[in-house]
Amino acid sequence: MPTTGDDSGGSVFSDEGAGAGRLTHIDDAGTARMVDVGHKAPTKRRAIAGGTFHTTAEVIGLLSESKLPKGDVLATARIAGIMAAKRTDELIPLCHQLALSSVEVDFTIGTDSIDVTATVATSGQTGVEMEALTAVAVTGLTLHDMVKAVDKRARMDGIRLLEKTGGKSGDWYRDDPADG
């Protein structure tokens, strides 16, 4: 069965041939399987994911003044996101183990929120969408852990793929990056 569409690592739909419209991680018998990407030539691939951590203006103030009880919140969350991207294959079943060439986690601080963006790159046979999404999710979990003493209602939402480049299926960009 053709596996076009899974080369990005994020899309599980086959988009050509006899398997068009089928989930590529499910075989003909309905059993989950890891897609074989061994036949694909390595290409440069990049994915960007984002999400928003919602908290209070008080927490943002404490963060800006480095007065939160657990220390440097953004540095800790950034490291957690990078580490998570590197271990995605251990967290998400059927993901391939990848040699990542770079992982960046960036923050845009608002009055009562923090936008998190993760950019992941590799040169390989499958994409890095899951690694970018995992980096954002774990960054958000870490932000929550770091501020929960002050804001138990904090939340992370809107985790989404913003763009991906490279691979056989080509480039993809979210039409409206704010659209979750």
Four-point Cα dihedral 97, 164, 155, 116, nearest 10: 100
Joined tokens for residue 165 = 């480049």
**How far is 128 from 164, CA to CA, in rounded Å?**
8
Decide if 145 is catalytic.
yes
| Catalytic residue chosen out of the listed positions 36, 72, 145, 179 | 145
**How far is 14 from 27, CA to CA, in rounded Å?**
12
| Unique residue bearing structure tokens 């060439």 | 101
Distance, CA of 98 to chain centre: 14
E strands in 55-145: 100-109, 113-124
E strands in the chain: 43-54, 100-109, 113-124, 155-165, 172-173
Q: Which residues are catalytic?
A: 145
